[in-house]
A and B are shown apart, each in its own frame.
Chain A
Amino acid sequence: MKRILKWALLVVVVVAACGFMAFLYLIPPFFIAAPETFSGPIVAAAPKMDDIKDPAERAIAERGRYIALTTGCLGCHGTPGAQGFDLDKYLSGGQLFIESSGRYVSRNLTPDNETGLARRTDDEVKRVLRSGVLPDGHVAPYTAMPWANFSNWTEEDRHAVVVFLRHVKPVRHAIPDPVLKRTPVRDGAVEEGYGGVDYALRER
């Protein structure tokens, strides 16, 4: 009897350990669930521009939405939540990028008055998108913020993106300023990126 119990316990422990390993192996299920499980919600989360009354502005914002969505602004400017992005906080930033020139937390692109782009003029936003020059004159490294690519947008496409950003739902989410000091990047890499948690909270 005792022997059977012992064996049963052993089997339970082994099965539990294997189950745990299998769980570790498979979670998060990037490699088993259909790709649409991930892309569907991300595409659906881009806010519709239907509510804009002025037809010209609506059409321009729609175009801006398409450009911002397909360019993947959310990939860096999304706010990490418990499971992947917190899509309710669309484009409010919070991921961390480390370059040899410093530490950058992705900014809040929503039109929030105190923590977002409502503080910046259209020209200031366009200057970042065209030249990578932040309001303080610092030039963002192109590998962290791919402005060198966005500089190839026509001025009219850039305008459409800014019109779209002005119509995203404002989210209060304060982002710490970049820490601009020479830092070696881990293992001799050129860039180190972190998602998973909201670094706007952690870095403060």
Chain B
Amino acid sequence: MHAQPRMVGGAPSDATRGKVVYDAHCVECHGASGKGDGPAAQTLTPRPRDFSSSKYKIRSTETGSVPTDDDLIRSVREGLAGSAMPGWQRILPDSDIADVVQYVKSLSPQFAQPPVPVTLGAGVASSPQSIARGSSAYEKLQCGKCHGSDGRGTGAVTTTFEDDWRQPLNAADLTEPWAFHGGATPRDIFLRFRTGMMGTPMPSFKDAATDAEMWDLANYVVSLARKPLWTMNGDEVAAFYKQRDADAKANPVKRGRQLVDTLGCGTCHTAVDENRRPLPGLSMAGGLLIRITPFGDFPTGNLTSDKETGLGSWTDDEIKQVITRGVLKDGTRLPPYPMDWAAYSAMGADDLSAVIAYLRSLPPVKNKVLRPSRPFLPVYLWGKFKMLILQRDPPLLFFPGNAGTAGGRS
């Protein structure tokens, strides 16, 4: 599947070759135009980069400056841990990666200005003294306001974050270096303090701290790392999961959000356009028309807390009946697919309550979804005959355009 460069009138420019690579591998997230609005973008936290903005988080350059080519090449080669961006180094040849970086740069006029690299200085080797100094710097610079006193959010003043595009963002858990987007070496971490992460609430500390303090801080953050699951022994794993379950129970909305995001409720319960991109303003408000031939049309329900058209007037038990048994409030039965209530029936009681707590926290969106409908009886019987006797497989169809509502297109 490696895209071959198009040879049009002699050797194409790097960026021209890069566009071919980009179109083959990058559009699902970053979008055809590079604005970070591909079909999968809305589901991802953090969101994919908008290349037209030239605001890059992972840089070795001053705030306001574009990243260097090496910065971009490294992000593409190694990927960004803790995000959906994979490392492409074992998939694409280096020449393709260099080309796609040139193409990405061509999407923003800011790259006409040369990058302004920061100076790293000599660095400070890690030592108990340096880590202790880093700990003081952590307090002085009030890192705990967002990252918590322990680096994992405990006591944080702010817990929900948005980037410059008003998209949700999480503060990094500083005890999980395997999920640091820009890498986990002291140098990587120093650079995040020194350059800031443009487009996010993470500022540059260039004026608030000295280089030496930031190196100490980097050593301190490295020292916060906890043991990852894959190196734990039996007792540690048991304690870890016990703690995780207790955390989940203490914060059901957060756990519910994680479950809903990972189960993919929004993939069907959000209407999409012809290019599979979610329609703006209708997140979790249903309206995607699913035709389950020959059984009929099953528009996805509005899961927001709207009283009239959403779940606002449903009881917890009514919601549970749909999730775990496929029985709607009015008694209508759902087929076992594509709403996989058989799978959800295995969910623990706490998880189920967490999902409901999260759904109740969704801001109301008015979107009146039609009731499921069966086809005209002879059509239905003929469809069943074709399926059961003639053994022709009936398709399951997903229609774009909020087609499951009265005003929608079908």
Task: Enumerate chain A interface residues (CB-CB to B < 8 A).
Answer: 21, 24-25, 27, 30-31, 35-36, 38-39, 42-43, 46, 54-56, 58-60, 63, 66, 69-72, 74-75, 127, 130-133, 135-139, 141-143, 146-157, 159-160, 180, 185-197
Contacts and interface: CB of A to CB of B under 8 A. Distances in A.
B396 A192 contact: yes
B385 A24 contact: yes
Contacts of A156: 228-230
Contacts of A58: 234
B65 to A, nearest CB: 28
* Residue with the highest number of chain B CB atoms closer than 10 Å, among A24, A69, A150: A24
Contact of B39 (A75, A131, A137, A143): A143
A70 B384 contact: no
Contact of B1 (A55, A66, A138): A138
A117 B267 CA distance: 26
Interface of B: 1-2, 24-25, 28-29, 39-40, 43-45, 79, 81-86, 88, 91-92, 176, 178-179, 228-230, 232-238, 241, 258, 261-264, 266-267, 272, 274, 276, 291, 295, 324-327, 333, 335-338, 340-348, 351, 380-381, 384-385, 387-388, 391, 393-400
Given A69-B343, A194-B395, A136 B274 contact: no
A151 B100 CA distance: 23
Contacts, number: 217
A149 B82 CA distance: 13
B28 A55 contact: no
A30 to B, nearest CB: 5
29 contacts: A27-B384, A30-B333, A31-B333, A36-B345, A39-B325, A39-B336, A39-B342, A39-B343, A46-B346, A54-B234, A72-B344, A131-B86, A132-B84, A133-B86, A136-B91, A138-B1, A143-B267, A148-B43, A148-B84, A155-B82, A160-B229, A186-B395, A188-B399, A190-B398, A191-B276, A191-B397, A192-B398, A196-B387, A196-B394
Contact of A137 (B1, B342, B351): B1
B295 A30 contact: yes
B237 A143 contact: no
Nearest to B173: A154
Contact of A149 (B262, B351, B385): B262
Contacts of A132: 28, 40, 84
* Residue with the highest number of chain A CB atoms closer than 10 Å, among B44, B380, B381, B397: B397
B342 A193 contact: no
Contact of A152 (B235, B241, B262): B262
A143 B267 CA distance: 7
A152 B395 contact: no
A71 B79 CA distance: 26
B262 A71 contact: yes
B70 to A, nearest CB: 22
Contact of B393 (A137, A160, A196): A196
Report, nearest first, the 6 A-B pairs whose CB atoms are least far apart. A55-B234, A72-B343, A149-B264, A72-B340, A39-B342, A131-B86
* Residue with the highest number of chain A CB atoms closer than 10 Å, among B263, B341, B388: B263
Given A30-B295, A131-B86, A152 B234 contact: no
A43 B347 CA distance: 10
Contacts of B276: 141-143, 190-191
B2 A194 contact: no
Given A141-B28, A143-B39, A192-B395, A60 B229 contact: yes
Contacts of B393: 194-197
A106 to B, nearest CB: 13
B399 A189 contact: yes
B342 A43 contact: yes
A56 to B, nearest CB: 5
A155 B337 CA distance: 28
Contact of B325 (A35, A142, A197): A35
A71 B276 CA distance: 21
A24 B39 contact: no
* Residue with the highest number of chain A CB atoms closer than 10 Å, among B45, B82, B262, B327: B262
Contacts of B263: 70-72, 149
A15 B138 CA distance: 83
B230 A194 contact: no
A75 B338 contact: yes
A193 B292 CA distance: 10
A171 B296 CA distance: 34
B340 A151 contact: no
A139 B28 contact: yes
Nearest to B79: A131
B397 A186 contact: yes
